Amino acid sequence: MKLTRLRTAAVAAGLATMLGSTALAADVKATMIIYLDPSVQFFNPVVKGAQDAAAQFGVDLDVQYANNDPVRQNDLIESATASGVDGIAVAISSSDAFDDSICAAVKAGIVVIGFNNDDLEGAKGNCRQAYVGMDEFASGYELGNRMIKEFGLKEGDVVFNPREIPEASFAVARGGGIEKAMGENGIKVETVRAGLDPAEAQNIIAQFLIANPGVKALFGTGSVTSTVGAGAIKDAGVDIPFGGFDLAVEIVNAVESGAMFATMDQQPYLQGYYPIAQIALAKKYGLTPTDIDTGQGAFLDKSRIGTLKPLIGTYR
């Protein structure tokens, strides 16, 4: 997947200059569709970013949740299309399930921007006009290689990469990046479905580690497995390195304490802010939406992570 590598700070400065200091009247309508449910705290900064952009750029914003149900998500896309919104921001959590409904929205003249999750083929696989999010395959590959180097993982080793929703595009991409890094070094990757319930996921990970004492490292794939990974290692009574994705208070605490090596941050606030801003700019001024990689500088280890804790849930 090829993303336009834009410096997000520069983009933000440009948008602020265009906006000025006064919020605009809400004369653009947009729907944001999140593929999980409101209990998943990762999306709180996404929603805040979207709401902030809506207030600043004059957007009447409706945030909807698909509750990890592809049928419901398609219904939400089709409903937004039928209602005549100006733009739809949608997490493309499947490379196949939403192709028809998204293409229908674009044909109806609606600006559709993917965020957080993208089709595994990028623009070649989906009609969305832009994607705002991290390059997930590249991030998985980077994390894998950093852990190989840091902990001396070698040919013949086995590592464990549990995945919340193995078929979801984020898990396929991030896990695929990890597998590529490991495969290039002769290291085997084991994986299981961990699910979205933190307590259940922690138990699944711990039980696997107990049953497989030869595992040399643990990789979280998303916010749930990364949040509970350190606890699962403790429950299993093993001492192995652990790296993952996203930010939560538990993840920051684990990195600060040394229980977790590092996490890959995808800056979810920007994944909410930029799609809504770009929808407004496209409708008001005819500006073309563009891909934005929010995962630049994503690697956060103990030396970098401490200052972010007060911002978790809002801007981080």
Do 8-134+266-296 and 136-264 share a fold?
A: yes
* H/E run at residue 180: helix 169-183
Q: Taking 90 as the threshold, does the pLDDT of residue 62 lie above it? A: yes
Interval 102-121 mean pLDDT: 97
23: pLDDT confidence band, cut at 50, 70 and 90? low
Interval 255-275 mean pLDDT: 97
pTM for the structure as a whole: 0.88
DSSP for 132-162, written as a single string: EE--HHHHHHHHHHHHHHHHT--TT-EEE--
Q: Taking 50 as the threshold, does the pLDDT of residue 297 lie above it? A: yes
- pLDDT digit string, tens, across residues 180-200: 999 999 999 999 999 999 999
Q: How far apart are CA 49 and CA 34, in angstroms?
A: 13
When comparing pLDDT for 6 and 162, which is higher? 162
Q: Which residue has the tokens 């834009």?
A: 6
- pLDDT digit string, tens, across residues 125-149: 999 999 999 999 999 999 999 999 9
Q: How far apart are CA 181 and CA 127, in angstroms?
A: 30
Spatial strand order of the sheet with 28-34 comes to: 59-65, 28-34, 87-90, 111-115, 130-133, 292-293
* Region of poorest pLDDT, from 5-19, 23-37, 152-166: 5-19
- State residue 262 phi and psi, 5-degree precision: -170, 165
Over the chain, what is the mean pLDDT?
93
- pLDDT digit string, tens, across residues 12-21: 445 544 554 4
What are the boundaries of each domain within the chain?
A: 8-134+266-296, 136-264
Interval 211-222 mean pLDDT: 97
CA trace torsion 188, 93, 7, 25 (10° rounding): -160
Q: Which of the listed CATH numbers 3.40.50.2300, 1.10.10.10, 3.20.20.70, 2.60.120.330 matches domain 136-264?
A: 3.40.50.2300
Q: Taking 90 as the threshold, does the pLDDT of residue 307 lie above it? A: no
- pLDDT digit string, tens, across residues 35-52: 999 999 899 999 999 999
pLDDT at 25: 67
pLDDT at 301: 96
Q: Which fold has domain 8-134+266-296?
A: Rossmann fold (3.40.50)
6: pLDDT confidence band, cut at 50, 70 and 90? very low
| Element counts in the chain: helices (H) and strands (E) | 11, 12
Q: What does the buried/exposed string (b/e) look like for 142-177 if buried means 16 or more CB atoms within 10 Å of the residue's CB?
A: bbbbbbbeebebeeebebbbbbbbeebbbbbbbbbb
pLDDT at 59: 98
Q: How far apart are CA 248 and CA 266, in angstroms?
A: 12
Q: At what angle do helices 169-183 and 136-151 cross, to 10 degrees?
A: 40
pLDDT at 296: 84
HSE (CB half, 13 Å, CA atoms) of 300?
26
Task: Kindly give, in sequence order, each residue whose CB lies less than 8 Å from that of residue 237, ignoring residues fewer than 6 positions away.
Answer: 210
216: tokens are: 């040399």
196: tokens are: 């979205």
